[in-house]
Amino acid sequence: MNSKLKNEANDYLFEAILQLNNVDECYDFFEDICTVNEIKSISQRIAVAKMLREGHIYSDIVAATGASTATISRVNRSLLYGNNGYDTVFDRLENKKD
């Protein structure tokens, strides 16, 4: 966990997100709290992370997602040296399919 990020307001935000029960509720909440571009940026990053995790090369990821190589590099650094947040989510999504 990034101690620079940890504060009461962020705790409240994350607790609020954990109260959402389904995709429709997520759409409603995130459309209220974020701009369309912010949502697109976040969804682009998770798509990039998924493709990196699957072993795709940068040029394929750029073509599929429209992400810049700088964004892809940033996401790759998070996958390699971050807090394993992407891995937690991807592992749970994969287990949900079973």
Radius of gyration over every alpha carbon of the chain, rounded to an integer in angstroms: 15
Could you give the percent of the chain with pLDDT greater than 70?
A: 97
0.75 surpassed by pTM: yes
Q: Beta-carbon neighbour count of residue 10 at 10 Å?
A: 11
At 78, is the secondary structure helix, strand, or coil? Answer: helix
DSSP 8-state symbol, 19: T
Question: Is the predicted pLDDT of residue 43 greater than 90, yes or no?
Answer: yes
Q: What is the pLDDT of residue 3?
A: 76
Q: How many residues are given for the chain?
A: 98
